[in-house]
Amino acid sequence: MALRLLSRRTLGSRLLRNRSSLASLHSHATSFGFQQVKEEEKSKLVGNVFTNVASSYDVMNDVMSAGLHRLWKERLVGKLSPFAGMKHLDVAGGTGDVAFRIFDAVNSVKRRELRKVDEASLEETQIYVCDINPNMLNVGKQRAADRGLRDNKSLVWVEGDAEALSFDDNSMDGYTIAFGIRNVTHIEKALAEAYRYKYSHQLDFSLSECCILSQCLITLRVLKRGGRFLCLELSHVDIPVFKDLYDLYSFQVIPNLGELIAGDRDSYQYLVESVRRFPPQERFATMIADAGFEKVEYENLVGGVVAIHSAIKL
């Protein structure tokens, strides 16, 4: 009996208990994987996922993607074309994969072009790494220290919510979010802004898509004119046979791997389900365009398993 009660302490049962008290407009359900939970709980759950995940994040990434995630991140940074003197913001980049690549790219370029006189390159490059989870940031800081970059002023580790960015308007040349935009919840203010925008522009988005829209609007605010937004994210596969193989791999293999290596089946189950809930490439591109970006493009990698969306603020 006790065991059964214990097993009923799932997220689903929490919803059942609270359903009757769901009166206010603001506490509507949002999705956590395939389960419906209240919003306030979602950020806690996401937080839990990543606290569990942080320590074995890098290892799991390598195993799940067979090392391909490194190539994807290389491609992302290649598309960004970093330059000396750049102010860059990498969101949800706790362990610093993308940030380190940008740092390396900038410094090698700078070394090559030292002969060129460019007053603006006297400005320091600043790469801000923002993450809601301090554990991820700590892993990142440790990696920086290992590379001898502990005291380097270019890399700045900021703990914060992607939706409540404390950066000034029009201050960033670039904004990247790698495998993070799926996990944005929304805070009141950001969501309200997204709703207002949606209604004033008569756009046709579902409630959950408004979370993503709010993220795009925040990005738009923070970027300078000409600044670029790049998003690397797991996306939808359409190729017939490959799609089935991918689904099989996602639902059968990954949660088991998660249990084996990270000791956490649920987190990876959530991960795989959230990928399916995320809008497909075209839809996401439309959302970015509707938020006010120009030249919205996307590139599929590995047949659609991963997609890089890019856009410019003008």
Partner 1 sequence: MYRTAAKRFLGVGFTTSRLLRLPKPRPNPTIITPYSHASALCTSSIGHTESPIGNQSVNPNQSDPTAASSSTAREEGPRRDESSRKKPRAEFEEEQARVLAASLRHVPRLGWTEEAMIAGSREVGVSPSIVGSFSRKEAALVEYFMDECLQLLIDRVDSGLDLQNLIPSERVSKLVRIRLEMQIPYMSKWPQALSIQAHPVNVPTSFKQRAMLVDEIWHTVGDGASDLDWYVKRTVLGGVYSTTEIYMLTDDSPEYRDTWAFLDDRVKDAFDLKKSIQEAKYFAQDIGAGVGKSFQGLMNGVMQTMSRRGGSSAF
Instruction: List interacting residues with partner 1 (CB under 8 A).
Output: 79-83, 85-86, 113, 116, 118, 120, 173-174, 201-203, 223-228, 282, 285-286, 288-290, 292-300, 310, 312, 314
Q: Any known ligand binding at 238?
A: no
Q: What angle do CA 287, 293, 296 make, to 5 degrees?
A: 75
Unique residue bearing structure tokens 């689903």: 12
DSSP state, 84? T
Q: Which residues pair with 108 in a beta bridge?
A: none
Q: Tell me which amino acid residue 295 is.
A: K
Distance CA 91, CA 161 (A): 9
Report the residue number, 158 or 289, with the smaller CB distance to partner 1. 289
Name the pairing type of β-strands 223-234 and 306-312: antiparallel
Cα separation, 240 vs 247, whole angstroms = 11
Q: Name the residue among 103, 83, 84 with its Cα closest to residue 93.
A: 103
Tell me whether residue 227 or residue 258 sits nearer to partner 1 (CB atom): 227
The smaller minimum CB distance to partner 1, of residues 190 and 296, is found at: 296
We find the least distance from the C-beta atom of residue 126 to partner 1, in angstroms, to be: 13
192 is in an annotated binding site: no
Q: How far is the CB of 291 from partner 1 (least distance, A)?
A: 9
Q: Minimum CB separation from partner 1 for residue 158, in Å?
A: 20
244 carries a ligand binding annotation: no
Burial of 203 (0-12, 13-18, 19+ CB in 10 A): middle
Q: Which of 58/290 has CB closer to partner 1?
A: 290
Least distance between partner 1 and beta carbon 35 (Å): 31
In angstroms, give the least distance from the CB of 307 to partner 1.
Answer: 9
Q: Is 162 annotated as a binding residue?
A: yes
How far apart are alpha carbons 219 and 169 in whole angstroms? Answer: 9
- Looking at the Cβ atoms of 84 and 130, the one nearer to partner 1 is 84
Measured from the CB atom, the residue of 85 and 134 that comes closer to partner 1 is: 85
In the complex, minimum distance from the CB of residue 235 to partner 1, in angstroms, rounded to a whole number = 12
Distance CA 198, CA 210 (A): 8
On the CB side of 231, how many CA atoms lie within 13 Å of its CA?
24
Which residues fall in the annotated binding site?
95, 131, 161-162
Which residues fall in the annotated binding site for S-adenosyl-L-methionine?
95, 131, 161-162
